[in-house]
A and B are shown apart, each in its own frame.
Chain A
Amino acid sequence: MRPCDDNRSRIFLYLDDELRGRELTALESHVRSCSTCQGAVAEERRFLNELRSRRPIYRAPMGLRSRVKGIVQHAPVCTAPIDLRARIQKIIAQSLPRARDA
């Protein structure tokens, strides 16, 4: 079932939750009154749901899973720059002269 020419790409955007505001309202309003586009929305939704129901299409092999767990759980995570930024911000805040003392 082919939707109205203007709406085919908007139907994809709608089903991908990428439409907002007036564009969303306009499409929803049109679909309510257009049986061709209603059919197109239903068909595309069925196809996408069918596809997405097959995920994940791969599962990481057990060996890889173990190695990655080892990396993530035991390797030191470098957070120093964030801590350092916070410390520097604190030093600056404490060092800045107050307005009334200026």
Chain B
Amino acid sequence: MEKITAIISGCISKEHKFQKIVYEHYYGFALKIVFRYIYRYEKAVDVVNDGFVKLFRHFDRFIKGADEDNEKILMGYIKRIMINTAIDELRKGKMLPEIGGIPDYVWEITGKEQDADQRLLYKDLIILIKELPAHYRIIFNMYIIDGYNHFEIADLLKISVGTSKSGLSRARAILQKNIKKTEQESICSI
């Protein structure tokens, strides 16, 4: 990949060549973030594309740092935009629960990897997060995985700090319960 600073400068100048490089390089990273928030895979793909449109539209607001830090700053910038876009999408759907399961074709598991078991475990954990109610899912993702504090969560979601904290405990309780249930099922199956 070309020097990140040059790519960022190209994106600020709205040159398609550099925008394409950013899109293709960070697409997987962005999709993994959004898929934790959005239940449906196809919807997550759309949200990622919307997020990239927003990113390129407002790239002039990106503040460059030192060369060695620019990639981290860019990834943080992309992460923030993707999370906001995902939350906006969930708000449009009024945070209604979704059902139907996650189809297997969205997972990249061939079974031949050395850490296949580990990847399967991670896959199951993500499915557990996705099965949380939308409000709890957002709070859990933002606090535990994406590093937001309760004040920031409350401000973004227009809720109180107390609601954010209680949402997090409720999410943890549901996840613990589901993990135990899954373990018991796997023991029984053996």
Q: Do A and B come from one complex?
A: no
Which residues does A use to contact B, with CB under 8 Å?
Answer: none
Question: Which B residues lie at the A interface, using CB under 8 A?
Answer: none
